[in-house]
Structure 1
Amino acid sequence: MSNPGEHEIAIVGAGMAGMSCAVGLALGDRSAVVLETSGHPGGRMDGLRTQGFEFDAGAQYFTVRDPVFRSYVDTWLSGQRVMPWRGWVVELDRGDFISRESAERYVAQPSMGALVRHLAEFCDVREHQAVARADRVDGLWRLRDGRGVELARCRELVLALPAPMALDILGDAAPQVSTRLAHFETTSCWAVMLGFDEPLPVPFDAAYVNQSPLAWVARNNSKPGRVQREAWVLHATPEWSVGHEDLSDSEVLAHLLRALETALGIESLEPVFTEARFWPHAAPIHTLGEPFLRDASLGLSLCGDWCLAPRVEAAFLSGHALSERLLQP
């Protein structure tokens, strides 16, 4: 194309859905550029590696139900991009626990986000590109940042984002699509990462927590491919997260550390590393019930886990299905 900032297809969002769509297009010889706000692909599969600790801050694992996704997972398994996680998962209630169902769980290695970054190797990903607004002018989408600087132009726009974020970007550029998006809400989640010098004296590796501000706790170093320093990830319940979204990181850390002590029945835990992260769009509350949303007359498509289900697999399948649609003549 004559303008280096003009593309056939632009995908906003380099999480699992966006990268699945981009890879599908690349396999079909369709060029697309992926614009990502942060410094690397990953989305809600992002994590943290610091001071000898490793944490999966967002998605903790994934399951496989669909045969299409299974075919990709089998390839990733053969290349050791993905491994089964055979950690002991329980239901936990103030120190008492019972085994949870033995579902087949998988994790990417050495981190969950590594799988998304692997997919990005096959695509044109532009990082630190914070798209704040999309306007359609003369048959093209013009993507701008918060200062109004144009980042790219494209004929086909894909928003691989949570529905509320997509709605903010579209504004009044696609009224019918925006009306539908307005019905989709998300839950938020406070995540806390704790590093310890010694293993915690509990026999299990992860737990769904009852009667607690915590919904989930996991020994991250029980997952394959991780360093062995004792690292725990805590996810607060949606209700607690919404009710405490304005707390400072230090206040959240104090609350949820006490909640972990209560859940485990252990007094005075002393982590040597702490960090809190707030996920404003952790999971969809409502889903579309179909793989993607598209207005062909505007050259506009949307994909993500909010279309199908709050799972890694659903995000992948949404992007994959959209790529197949866009490859049709």
Structure 2
Amino acid sequence: MRIAVIGAGIAGLACADELRRHDHPVTVFDKGRGPGGRMSTRRLDTPSGQAGFDHGAQYFTARDPAFLAQVEQWETLGLVASWPAAGPDAWTGAPSMNAPARHLAASLDVRLGARIETMSRRRQERGGAAAWHLQVEQQSAQGPFDAVVVAIPSEQAATLLAAWDDDFAALARATPSRPCWTVVAAFAERLPVATDLLQHLRPIQWAARNSAKPGRSPPESWVIQADPDWSDAHLEEAPETILADLLAAFSTVAGIRLPPPLVARAHRWRYARSGSAGVAMLWNDALRLGVCGDWLLGARVECAWLSGTRLAAAILDGAGRPTNMAEPT
């Protein structure tokens, strides 16, 4: 089958990779500049060299046997490393959080900067099977595809699904995400903070010395993330205001006077932490329309990977399945 996957986060990439390994041609579309979604890494030039920031997910755990086997394979390839500062079972991408995603994307046809506006379905010829076509923003339509996988945050998924499956769209609308304002900042010298990790010190949910993660290099870099309530209350404020407020809050909770940063930016994750619908994936065999993502199974990288691989299994074993299927956790 010719399959389109909308979303190059870990769920979409895991689904696409499994389908590709079974010889189905897959095209992945993503509106971003690189693969990984919330497992992304941002790089900024500074007078002391380029600084890298894992400005989305900070680490992940591996508890399911299938995902643990995948992580062990990534470790063998040098794509992940344990990060004891975040916990005994914490892993991070190496040398950046998006390393596993970039590895998965390397063997796939991934179209970046491609925001899908609408999906349509029509017969190719008289008596032929219906096929999917995707309208890419400011580009020509893409297709035909035999199946479509929607692997994007629930709010965005609901918009695309509304015209095709009422149950899927309703579930997406009922599983909203929480936002997160994130500040990244690099400094010329190591900050006199005793620990590499500060947590749950409102309004800061998380502050980590990114340059201390395995495989990272100078300059001194920090990722500072606000808690969901603060982010929600300040969601529409200007990035410059957020930057000043969160740097001031970080200075307070760290107990230091911050020197002027070499570079600093504020980034708004409107859909940062997913909800959990309590199902692994969704598959409509009649339409050949699937949905995967962490918002279905849980707000963890592992859940996103499991959702994607389980949807791929349903697609590969689609014959005889119920028309609408929501696989339980």
User: What letter matches 1:26 in structure 2?
Assistant: R
Does 2:255 correspond to 1:258?
no
Q: Structure 2: 5+ residue runs without aligned partners?
A: 124-129, 320-329
| Structure 1 equivalent of residue 66 of structure 2 | 68
**3-state SS of the aligned residue for 1:125?**
strand
- Pick from 139, 142, 167 the counterpart of residue 133 of structure 2: 142
Q: Distance in 2 between matches of 1:274 and 1:39?
A: 20
Q: Distance in 2 between matches of 1:253 and 1:81?
A: 31
**3-state SS of the aligned residue for 1:226?**
coil
**3-state SS of the aligned residue for 1:133?**
strand
Does 2:214 correspond to 1:227?
no
| Structure 1 equivalent of residue 38 of structure 2 | 44
Q: Distance in 1 between matches of 2:245 and 2:133?
A: 44
Q: Distance in 2 between matches of 1:254 and 1:194?
A: 11
Are the aligned partners of 1:191 and 1:278 in contact in 2 as well (CA < 8 Å)?
Answer: yes
Describe the shift of the 1:268–1:85 C-alpha distance in structure 2 as closer, same or farther (beyond 3 A). closer
- Pick from 72, 86, 106 the counterpart of residue 91 of structure 2: 106
Q: Distance in 1 between matches of 2:164 and 2:310?
A: 24
**3-state SS of the aligned residue for 1:316?**
helix
Q: Structure 1: 5+ residue runs without aligned partners?
A: 1-6, 90-101
Are the aligned partners of 2:93 and 2:100 in contact in 1 as well (CA < 8 Å)?
Answer: yes
**3-state SS of the aligned residue for 1:298?**
coil
Are the aligned partners of 1:129 and 1:151 in contact in 2 as well (CA < 8 Å)?
Answer: no
- Pick from 2, 12, 27 the counterpart of residue 8 of structure 1: 2
1:77-120 residue CA offsets vs partner (Å, 9 max, x unmatched): 11111111123x5xxxxxxxxxxxx4321111111112101001
| Structure 2 equivalent of residue 290 of structure 1 | 279
Are the aligned partners of 1:141 and 1:157 in contact in 2 as well (CA < 8 Å)?
Answer: yes
What is the identity percentage for the equivalent residue pairs of Structure 1 and Structure 2?
35
Q: Distance in 2 between matches of 1:118 and 1:268?
A: 37
State the shift of 1:268 in Å: 4.2
Does 2:152 correspond to 1:161?
yes
Does 2:178 correspond to 1:187?
yes
1:288-325 residue CA offsets vs partner (Å, 9 max, x unmatched): 21210121111111000011111111111110111111
Q: Distance in 2 between matches of 1:198 and 1:246?
A: 33
* Correspondence list, 1:112-151, <5 A: 112-138=97-123, 139-146=130-137, 149-151=140-142
Q: Distance in 2 between matches of 1:15 and 1:116?
A: 7
Q: Distance in 1 between matches of 2:114 and 2:203?
A: 35
State the shift of 1:148 in Å: 7.9
**3-state SS of the aligned residue for 2:61?**
coil
1:196-219 residue CA offsets vs partner (Å, 9 max, x unmatched): 111111121112123x11100000
- Pick from 160, 165, 190 the counterpart of residue 199 of structure 1: 190
- Pick from 294, 310, 319 the counterpart of residue 321 of structure 1: 310
Are the aligned partners of 2:193 and 2:256 in contact in 1 as well (CA < 8 Å)?
Answer: no
Q: Distance in 2 between matches of 1:28 and 1:258?
A: 52
Q: Distance in 1 between matches of 2:212 and 2:55?
A: 15
Q: Distance in 1 between matches of 2:296 and 2:171?
A: 12
Q: Distance in 2 between matches of 1:12 and 1:268?
A: 41
**Equivalent pairs, count:** 308
**3-state SS of the aligned residue for 1:64?**
coil
Are the aligned partners of 1:34 and 1:126 in contact in 2 as well (CA < 8 Å)?
Answer: yes
Are the aligned partners of 1:132 and 1:168 in contact in 2 as well (CA < 8 Å)?
Answer: no
Q: Distance in 1 between matches of 2:274 and 2:79?
A: 27
Are the aligned partners of 2:44 and 2:263 in contact in 1 as well (CA < 8 Å)?
Answer: no
Are the aligned partners of 1:162 and 1:304 in contact in 2 as well (CA < 8 Å)?
Answer: yes
Does 2:76 correspond to 1:85?
no
Query: Higher relative contact order by CA 8 Å / sep ≥ 6: 1 or 2?
Result: 1
| Structure 2 equivalent of residue 274 of structure 1 | 264
Are the aligned partners of 2:58 and 2:97 in contact in 1 as well (CA < 8 Å)?
Answer: yes
The root-mean-square deviation of aligned C-alpha atoms, in Å, is 1.5
Are the aligned partners of 1:135 and 1:173 in contact in 2 as well (CA < 8 Å)?
Answer: no
State the shift of 1:283 in Å: 1.3
State the shift of 1:151 in Å: 2.6
User: What letter matches 2:80 in structure 1?
Assistant: V
| Structure 2 equivalent of residue 306 of structure 1 | 295
State the shift of 1:39 in Å: 2.5
User: What letter matches 1:47 in structure 2?
Assistant: T
**3-state SS of the aligned residue for 2:84?**
coil
State the shift of 1:270 in Å: 2.4
Are the aligned partners of 2:8 and 2:36 in contact in 1 as well (CA < 8 Å)?
Answer: yes
**3-state SS of the aligned residue for 1:239?**
helix
